[in-house]
Amino acid sequence: MPQIAKRAWTLAGAVLATATLGTLGYVFIAGYPWLDAIYMAIMTMTTVGYGEIRPLGQAGRVFNTFYIVVSVSTMLMVIGVMTQAILEAQLRDVFGRRRVKKMLESMSGHYIVCGFGRVGRGAAAELRKAGATVVVLDRDEKRVERAQRAGCLALAGDATSDESLAEAGIARAAGLVAALSTDADNLFVVMSARTLNPSLRIAARAAEEETERKMVRAGADTVLAPYKTAGAQLALSLIKPHVRQFLDFALATPDWTVRIEQVEVAAASDLVGKSLAEARIRGEMQVVVLAIRRAGGRMEFNPPASAVIGAGDCLIVMGEAEPLRRFEIRAAGGALR
């Protein structure tokens, strides 16, 4: 976009400079009044061909011959550059969309973000920070370009349309964020996405409390009301500032070195069948287990040292980056170095 704007300003400058040259020539060489000189310069540039509006002397005709060549050449250049720019934009759009479509055809396990407003941008940034591949779907071409500059694959399309969701590879996606501007659109996206991919994890934005319940019934796994959540966080920062500070850990605020992660235990891991005390997760690995989500779906908060770890359990753990990385390797059944 900046390149197109720069080219447009250059062309406008060339046209203005040529018109100025003609006007000055007709005034000082041919002796035309200023208004007649401007009219004659523009008429010559545009090749209208009405003829001389005032008689031209020998010097005037010499200048007019020179000016015809310069002005017509300038206008031909302008037309050529404009045509080239239009063709380039159309071809770039066609080939760019074809390239994205080809990439999506072989992609799986990615995340689709519907809507690249403030909520959508935040969701995409967090997903990319976690190493996930993000595909953005938005009607607004400017937002699509912004998503591409942010490092996401992006498509211009209606997220409420099954065709657009299919083009974004929803059948092979791991999750979807419905972050459109209205609750009605987000509800429609949730219903369509759940139908197209029953195993998809869906997180949706809702403005109204009543809509939250509808979205859950429609198939959303998580529904977030940004305004209600922001209000609660603001109040919490005043009433319980230390609790709010602790929550910054969970939000992975860049100022903190400690993060909260979820780690699934593979069947091949040496953690399977051991209690938390036997696994010595806190003492040896410098990782704190805050909760265990059992493979059956039950959540155990602040599990005791005697809690036994099973295959498929998901441990909610807190620690610094390197200990967490080593623990993830151990939980996956890999060998620690």
11 lies in the same domain as 86: yes
Please indicate, yes or no, if residue 245 is contained in any of the structural domains: no
Q: How many CB atoms lie within 10 A of CB 168?
A: 27
Q: Write the CATH number for 23.
A: 1.10.287.70
The last residue of one of the domains, among 102, 118, 142, is: 102
Which token pair is 100? 């994205």
Q: Look at residues 62, 59, 78, 61 and name the one whose alpha carbon lies nearest to residue 19.
A: 78
113 lies in the same domain as 219: yes
Q: Write the CATH number for 146.
A: 3.40.50.720
Rounded distance between C-alpha atoms, residue 64 and residue 32, angstroms:
12
Rounded distance between C-alpha atoms, residue 225 and residue 112, angstroms:
19
Q: How many domains does the chain have?
A: 3
**pLDDT by 10-residue block (mean), the chain, 337 residues:** 72 91 91 91 85 84 90 89 77 65 82 94 90 92 89 89 92 94 93 94 88 90 84 83 72 64 91 91 89 90 92 91 89 75
Give the H/E segment covering residue 328.
Answer: helix 321-331
Please indicate, yes or no, if residue 235 is contained in any of the structural domains: no
* Enclosing domain of residue 74: 2-102
Please indicate, yes or no, if residue 247 is contained in any of the structural domains: no
From residue 299, alpha-carbon distances to 101, 171, 272, 293 in Å are 40, 29, 17, 4
pTM greater than 0.85: no
Please indicate, yes or no, if residue 266 is contained in any of the structural domains: yes
Given CA atoms 180, 181, 186, 188 in this order, what sign does their dihedral have?
Answer: negative
262 lies in the same domain as 307: yes
The last residue of one of the domains, among 49, 74, 102, is: 102
Please indicate, yes or no, if residue 337 is contained in any of the structural domains: no
Give residue 198's pLDDT: 93
Please indicate, yes or no, if residue 246 is contained in any of the structural domains: no
176 lies in the same domain as 281: no
